[in-house]
Amino acid sequence: MKRKDKIDSLGATALISFSAMLGLNQVMIKIVNEGLQPVFQAGMRSVFAFIIVFTYAFFKGNKISISDGSLKPGIITGIFFGLEFVLLFVALDYTSVGRASIMFYSMPVWLTIAAHFLIPNEKITFMRIIGLFCASAGVIWALSDNSGKGYALLGDIMCVIGSILWAGIVLFARLSNLRKSTPEMQLIYQLAVSPFILIPVAFFFGPFIRELETLHLILFGFQVIGVVSVGFVLWFWVLSIYPASDMASFSFLAPVFGVIFGWLILDENIDLTIFGSLFLVSLGIILINWKTKSR
């Protein structure tokens, strides 16, 4: 399919579906945590997803190479990826899906701040300043409403640090030789390296198997196949056709879906803090991407 200069109904459907999948993914992680230890779950997810994505890229004829100077930054992003998911998966043992979604998907805030100093033509504009203020206020509001919930606060902070690591991965992908790699190869680096972080670290978080049931295995399989493999292949397909700047404006939907699915499936409470923080973070993400979209 040829490239397009704007998002059409097909692209919008794909992006909304992907955002919904990301929101649902955090619910599945929290449920599977009851049967599998979080860090071990994350490590095994990377192992199985690597096999699927590598096989897909190989038979699709996509370039799979480490000779283009991308090996070192690829390894670094793999380390970041592993640490990011140590934090996210463990955090969901402590905090709610709704709160985790707000914190984790604040990534565009940290990326915008770093890009201002590191990436040419990505300076912070007035609109982005307003967006940063809104999103930061939302995160601070959510963090401040944690009186008497020490472990929940710990989980929230872990999600914020995880989102910063995610921003670091994006920066490496844009500023290093990793940009010469195909999107599939960038994901392969992350899935190949992260198990060497996740599985050894898993030994420090207790038994690998908790109260494992069939439901946990089904949801784990859906994460591997539906989210990490099919979901990100779908993302790469959309990225190859539609403008990346237009796609960025859909990123605010992921925390929205996370809060909705946490309420629908896990019966999590949506109080004023969750609703207000979600609104501010989502508005901030929209404003941060506003100038890029118009350009």
Whether 185 and 64 have beta carbons less than 8 Å apart is answered as yes
Residue 294 has what pLDDT? 46
Whole-number Å distance between alpha carbons of 38 and 90: 6
Tokens 């955002």, located at residue: 19
Residue 295 has what pLDDT? 45
Which tokens sit at 53? 């994505």
DSSP 124-157: --HHHHHHHHHHHHHHHHHHHS-TT-HHHHHHHH
Task: Report domain extents, the chain.
Answer: 9-294
Whether 138 and 284 have beta carbons less than 8 Å apart is answered as yes
Burial class of residue 22 in the structure, from the number of CB atoms within 10 Å of its CB (0-12 exposed, 13-18 middle, 19+ buried): buried
Burial class of residue 5 in the structure, from the number of CB atoms within 10 Å of its CB (0-12 exposed, 13-18 middle, 19+ buried): exposed
Query: Per residue of the chain (295 residues), what is the pLDDT tens digit?
Result: 677 777 788 888 888 988 899 899 999 999 999 999 999 999 999 999 999 999 988 888 888 888 889 999 999 999 999 999 999 999 999 999 999 999 999 998 998 899 889 888 778 889 989 999 999 999 999 888 765 466 788 999 999 999 999 999 989 988 899 988 888 898 999 999 999 999 999 999 999 999 999 999 999 999 999 888 888 777 777 776 876 666 666 878 999 999 999 999 999 988 899 999 999 999 998 888 775 444 4
pLDDT tens for 145-174 read 765 466 788 999 999 999 999 999 989 988
